[in-house]
């Protein structure tokens, strides 16, 4: 049995769609960081996306745990031309609504579709499972990356996955029993 503890990075306070922009996280709430650190298994490996909001969060919670190199496959959705724009300021409102209301093959201009994000994150997870079988893994990642795994564990469609809340510094616990993913907790805020 492998257990993944997906942690969403600390807040950025950005009010736009933040995908691959490398902006910092606000990790000033020391009490919340301490609660999160204490909640996570002591012997777990820690990995993160390569974006600094995730790497800084992983560094803040790692403690004495072994830290794996950052993994670009765990990045957020690549919003392409929509990056750092407010939803309602995008000129092609039909396109952006299709992206969120019918996730799958719709992609932002120059960005990724939901299916492409899911394939990328799945590739990173498969690599971790192969390299570290049976280990607990704390994966510090992003809203979209975590939701791809929630979708898989719950066996739901992408639109239903978007209905789940994934708060900053929350934990989503998913177990791999060798053949199936099981959701043990989604969006737990210690």
Domain 2-188 matching CATH 3.40.50.1240: the answer reads yes
Q: Using CA atoms, how far apart are residues 158 and 44, in angstroms rounded to an integer?
A: 29
| Model pLDDT for residues 23-63, shown as the tens digit of each residue | 999 999 999 999 999 999 999 999 999 999 999 999 999 99
Q: Three-class SS of residue 74?
A: helix
Identify the pLDDT of residue 87: 86
* pLDDT category of residue 78 using cuts at 50, 70 and 90: very high
Scanning the structure block, which residue is given the tokens 């992983």? 58
- The pLDDT of residue 185 is 97
Question: What pLDDT, on the 0 to 100 scale, is given for residue 125?
Answer: 98
CA dist 15 and 125 (Å) reads 29
Q: Give the start-to-end residue ranges of the domains of the chain.
A: 2-188
Among 161, 167, 159, 160, CA closest to 147: 161
Provide the token pair at 5: 């503890």
CB 166 within 8 A of CB 143: yes
Q: How far apart are CA 39 and CA 19, in angstroms?
A: 27
Q: What is the mean pLDDT of the chain?
A: 96
């Amino acid at each position: 049995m492998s257990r993944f503890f997906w942690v969403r990075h600390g807040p950025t306070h950005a009010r736009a769609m933040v995908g691959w922009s490398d902006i910092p996280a606000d990790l000033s709430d020391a009490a919340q960081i301490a609660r999160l650190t204490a909640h996570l298994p002591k012997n777990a490996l820690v990995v993160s996306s390569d974006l600094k909001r995730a790497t800084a969060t992983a560094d803040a919670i790692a403690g004495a745990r072994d830290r794996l190199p950052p993994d670009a496959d765990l990045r957020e959705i690549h919003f392409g031309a929509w990056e750092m724009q407010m939803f309602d300021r995008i000129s092609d409102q039909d396109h952006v609504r299709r992206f969120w209301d019918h996730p799958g093959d719709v992609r932002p201009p120059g960005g990724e579709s939901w299916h492409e994000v899911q394939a990328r994150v799945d590739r990173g997870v498969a690599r971790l499972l192969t390299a570290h079988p049976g280990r607990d893994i704390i994966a510090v990642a992003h809203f979209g990356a975590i939701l791809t795994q929630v979708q898989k564990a719950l066996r739901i469609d992408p639109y239903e996955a978007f209905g789940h809340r994934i708060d900053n510094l929350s934990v989503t616990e998913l177990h791999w029993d060798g053949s199936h993913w099981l959701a043990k907790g989604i969006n737990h805020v210690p």
